[in-house]
Structure 1
């Protein structure tokens, strides 16, 4: 399994751990759907579609639910590609956080509803924009890995 850790774990700190599943797909123009929301400082933050796994749901079900909630987008997760995690400190909540993400290549169907999370907006980014705008480094890395595995191969 392809796996990579970002950030440094400080041994003396207690981390809040969150496990999530995220989908990366590409439209016919090679753009990737992401959620744009506002951060605590009022700036825009861009994140992959997906999120925390609830109860005992599968990774696929989590991605399908989160894509619908965050973007109104119907998707089909197809292939698990990589696992990335990120140790960091969130100043706004004074929390040491350990985000663990399972990243999947997904097929994008279409927008079928309005998002149920009113602070999330569907935005389509190019690969260059993803590298520039995504907020979390393990998500940027995962997009690059999925691009190499599925899009770049298809173009070769």
Structure 2
């Protein structure tokens, strides 16, 4: 997770409490097949910005949890946001 945060945000993070693991099967209308999306969710603390992101095809913006819930596609990601809010 630390490497992903560095590559995709150019930021250091501290990995915190494990929220849980959840899965969701979904059908890709672009590829016409089913996928299993599996997520392991943790609370993390933002650290310092140490560089520009190294993956140019990723765009990250920080949003309030309610806005994230409104815009997430996978139900298990929405579940994780709700679970995280119970812990903070």
TM-score normalized with structure 1 length: 0.53
Aligned to 1:137: 75
Q: Secondary structure at the residue paired with 2:30?
A: helix
Provide Cα deviations, 1:46-99, integer angstroms capped at 9, x if missing partner. xxxxxxxxxxxxxxxxx1111111111210112111111110011212231001
Aligned to 1:79: 17
Aligned to 2:86: 148
Change (3 A) 1:111 1:135: farther
What residue ranges of structure 1 are gaps of 5+ in the alignment? Answer: 1-62, 152-156
User: 4+ runs of 1 displaced by more than 2 Å?
Assistant: none
Question: Where does 1:32-111 land on structure 2 (aligned, <5 Å)?
Answer: 63-111=1-49
Aligned length: 88
Aligned to 1:113: 51
Provide Cα deviations, 1:97-136, integer angstroms capped at 9, x if missing partner. 0011110111111221111111112201002211111222
When Rg is computed on C-alpha atoms for both structures, the one with the higher figure is 1
TM-score normalized with structure 2 length: 0.89
Q: Could you say which structure has the higher helix fraction? A: 2
Q: Secondary structure at the residue paired with 1:102?
A: strand
